[in-house]
């Protein structure tokens, strides 16, 4: 039987400049209409994971990556090392990038050369614990699981808690040490956000 994986090539084989290396081992990958974004990556030069790093490809070139800051055209990376927490979720649009940590949200806007994206801390408190719980409801309105509640909000605005009615139930049944495995689905027609959390061992 033919192995279907043999037709997939690693990103580095497509890199136009072989001296520059793309991020590897990204825990979060997303895109907008112009770029590919990776976060919580392994630095290809040191081989060490940088959990607070966000990197982006060149404009309309998802195979072009910079090997270090401000080095390769419009592709570079930025370390959001404040709070020393890992990046846990990303949301992108054509105008901005929203970066979530467990208890912090940053918003990045395109500013052109040499940095290309400038990030500022939007709010501290309602971060996101799992990228898989982040969903878009309608017209950019986001819903996600924070470390203390479910939140809803538009990028650039302070989010509001949405899950007060289920807070106690989550703490009762969920394995709080594995909340990064939580995920969610959205039924936009029926206005239903369904959250799945890892259960405590005694409930499995």
* Closest C-alpha to 158, from 127, 204, 137, 117: 127
pTM (global) more than 0.85 = no
pLDDT digits (tens, 9 = 90+) for 23-36: 788 999 999 888 88
In this predicted structure, the answer to whether residue 70 has a pLDDT above a threshold of 50 is no
User: How much is the pLDDT for 93?
Assistant: 87
Mean per-residue pLDDT, 39-52: 90
In this predicted structure, the answer to whether residue 68 has a pLDDT above a threshold of 50 is no
User: How much is the pLDDT for 69?
Assistant: 45
Chain centre distance of CA 121: 15
User: How much is the pLDDT for 107?
Assistant: 93
User: How much is the pLDDT for 179?
Assistant: 93
């Amino acid at each position: 039987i033919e192995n279907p994986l043999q037709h997939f090539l690693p990103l580095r084989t497509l890199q136009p400049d072989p001296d520059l290396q793309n991020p590897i081992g990204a825990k979060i990958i997303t895109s907008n209409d112009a770029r590919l974004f990776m976060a919580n990556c392994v630095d290809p030069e040191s081989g060490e994971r940088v959990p607070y790093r966000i990197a982006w490809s060149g404009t309309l070139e998802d195979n072009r990556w910079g090997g270090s800051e401000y080095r390769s055209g419009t592709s570079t990376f930025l370390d959001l090392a404040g709070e020393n927490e890992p990046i846990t979720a990303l949301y992108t649009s054509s105008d901005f990038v929203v970066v979530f940590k467990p208890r912090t949200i940053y918003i990045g806007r395109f500013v052109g050369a040499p940095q290309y994206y400038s990030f500022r801390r939007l709010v501290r408190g309602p971060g996101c614990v799992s990228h898989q719980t982040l969903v878009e409801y309608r017209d950019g309105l986001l819903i996600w699981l924070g470390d203390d509640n479910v939140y809803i909000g538009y990028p650039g605005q302070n989010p509001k808690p949405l899950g007060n009615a289920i807070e106690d139930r989550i703490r009762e049944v969920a394995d709080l040490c594995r909340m990064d495995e939580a995920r969610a689905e959205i039924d936009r027609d029926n206005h239903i956000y369904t959250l799945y959390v890892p259960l405590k061992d005694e409930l499995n």
